[in-house]
Amino acid sequence: MGRASWGQSKPTSTTRIGWGIRQLHLHTSAHLRPNLGVSVRVNGNTNAFYLLNVHAFYSPTDALRIRMGRLITAKPAITPVWLMDSVDRAAVETLWNRRTIGADGHDFGLDIQYALSRWTWTIFLHNGDGHWNRARGNFNPNLGPANATDQTNQRGAAISLRTSWTSPHRRPVRIHAHTSYNGSRNPNTELDGVGRTYRSYGAQLHWGALPGSQPIRLKLDVSAIHYASVEGFAERQHARDP
């Protein structure tokens, strides 16, 4: 997706005007059966391409879907690329990602979704850290017993829940609610060098959720993160004050 931009930085007294490509998504999927397959999405950004999303999916019924891999799922302010009118995600979603599971909003885990005509429920069991590094989010141990943990002591994990409701009107209203707990203490949550567990809550209101459905579309996102306190943080801060 491309855009024209104008930027000004007061600290450095610089101004820049120009055109650019924000990002490029390439998506493909392979079906072993109509309800079973693999999905892969590649993202192009900052002069490089990287694997963004790769997961297997299985739908035993029309209402039930199961996915496993690295994916984007139950979290606040989630808006798929194909439902975005502009060239980037809302700032509230980007900031939430950077302070929780990672900047691109994806994580490794198992996602189960049950959808009816108006309601959708999703549960996501995941690592809590979407980083590809094997010592962090991408737990991919070798078969040898000496490398069963990649020399990493990590017992925390995460769980996320999300529900959605769509009104039956011609211009539908869509409401989402989300809650999650992350016990991974990954580097995105660090305070004074110490990772923290957290609970998160969020809600989203869409009026005209589908692109092109109406001339004016509105979206409201509300997100909150409650981090666990870091023992001794106040004492360390006092010791560093002059």
pLDDT tens profile 72-94: 877 766 666 656 655 556 777 78
Report if residue 134 sits inside a domain.
yes
How many domains in the chain?
1
Report if residue 26 sits inside a domain.
no
Report if residue 103 sits inside a domain.
yes
Residue 24: per-residue pLDDT: 76
Burial string for 31-59 (b: 16+ CB within 10 Å, else e) reads eeeeeeeebebebeeeeeeeebbebebeb
pLDDT 10s digits, 185-204: 999 999 888 899 999 999 98
**To the nearest whole number, what is the mean pLDDT of the chain?**
82
Report if residue 137 sits inside a domain.
yes
Report if residue 46 sits inside a domain.
no
3-class DSSP state of 93: helix
Q: 57, 50 in Cβ contact below 8 A?
A: no
Report if residue 42 sits inside a domain.
no
| Structural domain for 209, as ranges | 59-240
Q: 92, 201 in Cβ contact below 8 A?
A: no
* Nearest one of 35, 172, 56 to 117, comparing CA atoms: 172
Report if residue 9 sits inside a domain.
no
